[in-house]
Amino acid sequence: MIEIQDPDVLIAALLDSTTSHVLETMFFSTVIGSAPESESDSNPRLRARLSFSGNPSGEFEVETTRAAAHALAAAFLGIDESEVDAQQAEEVAGELANMACGSALSSLGNVECFRLAKPIVTSAPVGTPMLDGVRRGFLLDSGALRVSLRVDFPPA
Amino acid sequence: MAWDVLIVDDSAVMRQFIRRVAALSGIEVSRYREAGDGFQALAALEAEKANLVLTDLNMPGMDGEEMVRRMRSIEALASIPVIVISTDATASRMNALLALGACGYLQKPFGPEMLLAELQRVMGGPV
């Protein structure tokens, strides 16, 4: 049995597995590789951020390009990308944040209870840093997707 | 049996996803109805019962927990199977929901196979 001492290492591994699982199960999208944990191009971006309360509490954020958000929404809803409107793309990005965060927290162990707030979806100007937390980047057919999770563990 | 299904979720895209997954699971559905919260769901069920309720937990207005509690206190609605769909799969939350009278619990993420398996478990056999 491997004992992981650094919580950030554990959270990063959890984000890798749970985010991939959410994308495959509900978005019918396969992760084809890793993406840099910070943006490297100037494509318009969509971010969905939510806070969670309980034990532990913290914040989670997901970021994609607008194009990737539309592709994910189309896959989620089972419709053609041309049928996806901006509101649907934003709502689906919020659902993705909700599920990826909840899935990671449920897998964290020693989590007694948590409550997820409604995600807030915004356009992110290029160069705006993501939430300060453990970040992971995923490469999808439709573009890059990044997540960041900050967990505020209660003092021991 | 063809199911008359009520989907309760404040997210329109999530309601659409659930319909999609139900169709992919092979469940024969005669009619879908949708509600945005527990109040709307109870009104829809009191107007016309359903065979199955698939509900979210965290919703503005009346949440899924309160909706299940009220359904179980209304004789005409007490026997309708309710499957809760949520991201929160902590043991305490699941046990609380089952104690209130929910019949099943699906954690997001879920796909057609998981929905079908949970429905078969709740109904005690093939559906």
What is the ipTM metric for this complex?
0.87
pLDDT band at B126 (very low <50, low <70, confident <90, very high): confident
B93 contacts A95? CB cut-off 8 A: no
Asked if B13's CB is within 8 angstroms of A91's CB, the reply is yes
Q: Can you tell me the distance from the alpha carbon of B98 to that of B104, in angstroms, rounded to the nearest whole number?
A: 7
H/E segment holding residue B99: helix B91-100
Domain ranges for chain B: 3-90+99-123
Taking an 8 Å cut-off on Cβ atoms, the answer to whether A91 and B107 are in contact is no
3-state SS assignment for residue A124:
strand
Domain A7-152 classified CATH 3.40.228.10?
A: no
SS3 content of chain A, % helix, strand, coil (to 5): 35, 30, 35
Structural domain boundaries in chain A: 7-152
Is the model more confident about B90 or about B19? B19
Q: A36 is written with which tokens?
A: 């840099």
Residue A155: pLDDT band (50, 70, 90) is confident
More confidently predicted of A97 and B86: A97
Residue A137 has pLDDT above 70, yes or no: yes
Q: What is the pLDDT of residue B51?
A: 93
pLDDT at res. B89: 67
Res A128 pLDDT > 70: yes
**From chain B, which residues contact A within 8 Å (Cβ)?**
11-14, 16-17, 20, 58, 86-90, 92-93, 107-111
CA distances from B14 to A53, A124, B2, B34 (A): 23, 24, 22, 11
Q: Map tokens 């319909």 to a residue.
A: B19
- Mean pLDDT across chain A, nearest whole number? 89
As given in the structure block, the two tokens for residue A12 are 């990063």
CATH 3.40.50.2300 fits B3-90+99-123, yes or no: yes
Contact B123, B104 (CB under 8 A): no
pLDDT of residue A3: 58
Query: CA-to-CA distance for A55 and B98, rounded, in angstroms?
Result: 22
The predicted structure's pLDDT at residue A147: 96
